[in-house]
Amino acid sequence: MAGQRVFVSGVGGELGTQIASLLEDEPWVGALAGIDADPPRSRFKRTTFHRIHPHEHDRIVSTLIDFDPHVLVHVGVWEPNARAAPRLAAELTDRAATSILGAAAECPSLEHVIVRSAITIYGRDSLTRPDEDAPIRPTSEWGRTVADIERTAASVAERAGVTVGAVRLAPVIGPHVPSPLGRLLRLPAVPFNVLRDPSFAVIRQNDAARAIVAAARERLAQPVNVVASDSVSVSQAALRGRRVPVPTMGPQWPFARRLAHMAGAPIPDHVAETLIHGRLADNGRMRELLGIVPEQTTPEVIDSLYGWPSIIRHPARKQVA
């Protein structure tokens, strides 16, 4: 298995950069290459980076086919209101998936595909913790997007005669990670559903990266939920960060979303579902399928979110002649 060629899409983002950096230290990985519209967040030791926009279909296809990977790790997805507005995020994600996964099917050496997915694929349900056998019933744009990615990857894998695994991540939060949920929780006031105050779980970007690398190493051939243990309610999360929980119900939600947008934290529909219905999933198969468990619990990830330094503005000083 040593000397495997691995190609990582979305390598310019915080998560993709960390995944590539971890893969560089894997003994089974030989040549390593990545692609993104933006440059990586840190220097790579041996990863070849290709800066290509999702609209450049022909360049993406030729780059991937020329590299001819054994393993494709597809994390080139745009969460709504993370790095792009919802409509643009959906367009970029669709274009990237079509070009990258389509080209992968033409690579003669391809053996395995790993795709980034999300627990939003199960739809809104805070009363249970769906496991990987639960029906796929997305009720948000982000949920439908990752469901489409999984279907496309499965179709490509069947056509190419390779295996495919889907890593269904809880909301990813961590330093420098563009997260609409993270931005919202850092506002001075955080709206929550006063009728239920539902619970949610997250995953720190370090653990998400470790899980995706483990999925590639173990040749994951099915979906797996990657979720930090324990959970918090929305009001509990706000209080942990000394924010003001704002009781919200019914017709007050559209007004709360407008205020959050004006404050610089737009609330896409999948984050609104988290606030109103919660967001949980069962992570019981992580150890069995990936051989790892998250290093941080959900409360610890939330605490680290509020531990990030805020911008401190100092008035300009007059120069002394």
pLDDT of residue 319: 57
Confidence of residue 321 (pLDDT cuts 50, 70, 90): low
Model confidence at 42, in pLDDT bands (50, 70, 90)?
A: confident
Give the mean model confidence (pLDDT) for residues 146-158: 95
Contacting residues for 148 by C-beta, under 8 A, at least 6 apart: 94, 97
Is the predicted pLDDT of residue 318 greater than 70, yes or no? Answer: no
d(CA 24, CA 8): 12
10 Å Cβ neighbour count for 249? Answer: 14
Instruction: Tell me the mean pLDDT in the region 214-223.
Output: 97
303 pLDDT tier (thresholds 50, 70, 90): very high
Tokens of 25: 């230290």
- Report, as an integer, the average pLDDT of 210-217: 98
Domains of the chain with CATH codes: 4-177+202-228+282-296 (3.40.50.720)
Q: What is the pLDDT of residue 86?
A: 93
Are 15 and 41 contacting, i.e. CB atoms less than 8 angstroms apart? no
Cα 53 versus chain centre, distance: 19
- What average pLDDT does the segment 12-38 reach? 95
pLDDT at 279 over 70: yes
What residues does 47 pair with on adjacent strands?
32
Is residue 310 predicted with pLDDT exceeding 70?
no
Indicate left, alpha or beta for 246 from its phi (over 0: left) and psi (-120 to 50: alpha): beta
Which pLDDT band, with edges at 50, 70 and 90, does 226 fall under? very high
Lowest mean pLDDT among 20-29, 176-185, 283-292, 300-309: 300-309
More confident: 9 or 176: 9
Average pLDDT over residues 5-34: 96
- Write down the mean pLDDT value for the chain: 93
- pLDDT beyond 90 at 23: yes
Query: Tens digits of per-residue pLDDT, 28-38?
Result: 999 999 999 99
Q: Is the pLDDT of residue 99 over 70?
A: yes
Residue 41, pLDDT score: 78
